[in-house]
Structure 1
Amino acid sequence: MSTFGFHPVKKPKHKRNKPTAKERGAISNEVYNAAMERSGGRCERCGSIKGLQCAHLIRRWQIDGKTTVKDVAMLCGPSVNTGTCHNWIDYTKDGKQWAVDFRDQLYEK
């Protein structure tokens, strides 16, 4: 018999103990509505009313429990379009720093 043979292993029957980053980062309707109310229906960075999205201020994998209203900001988007605030905080050094500072302000309130 070859040393590199096929040796299938059964899948474990236990469930995952810790929620995935996607589950921890999910934005509930309550969080979205509270962020929208806080922002007054405007981008929290530039004040625009067009294309608002609820954007994470930190990466999903860095969230300990569930996403709270202090972990998100209402920003103009979408994040894939250059020139939007959501794109700016996701893909630029200055934007990432702004997101950290804004989140710190929210936690101080």
Structure 2
Amino acid sequence: MANPVPKPSYKRFKPTAKQRGNISPSVSQKVHERAGGRCERCGWAPGTFDPTGKRMGLQRAHLVRRWKLERTTEHDIALLCGPSVNSGTCHHWIDYTAEGREWAESFRMKLMGQYVQG
């Protein structure tokens, strides 16, 4: 059976949320330099003692949902211990708790203030 409606002949005008959430190498480098190899929330660093045993490394975490961004900048990302699927990590905390989302918003505002002033 043929499709009764033909496909549009034009391309998307607006990037998808996934495309807007892409982290460029330069943004990633700035975030790693800012964090100094440590989780920006709890200060944990890979290779140090982890009492929970749940941390597997550091991950770049969006502080704002991708669909709210025009493009990702260094003040939209934090370097957090993860993975986000393990409860007890900072990446999981900001993704899945209201308190974590509030922290992410206030941390982003702090970063934006440094960006404007410095």
Aligned match of 1:81: 86
Give the distance between the partners of 2:11 and 2:3, measured in 1 at CA: 23
Aligned match of 2:66: 60
- Of 13, 17, 38, 1:21 maps to 17
- Output the amino acid matched with 2:58: L
TM-score by length of 1: 0.91
Offset of residue 98 of structure 1: 0.2
Query: 96-105 or 25-34: which moved more?
Result: 25-34
**Structure 1 pair 101–14 and aligned structure 2 pair: CA distance change class (3 A):** same
Spell out, residue by residue over 1:56-100, the C-alpha distance to the aligned partner (whole angstroms, 9 max, x if none).
00100011x210000000000000000000000000011000000
Give the distance between the partners of 2:61 and 2:7, measured in 1 at CA: 36
Moved segments of 4+, more than 6 Å: none
Aligned match of 1:99: 104
Offset of residue 7 of structure 1: 6.5
**Structure 1 pair 41–7 and aligned structure 2 pair: CA distance change class (3 A):** closer
Give the distance between the partners of 2:89 and 2:12, measured in 1 at CA: 37
State the Cα RMSD in Å: 1.1
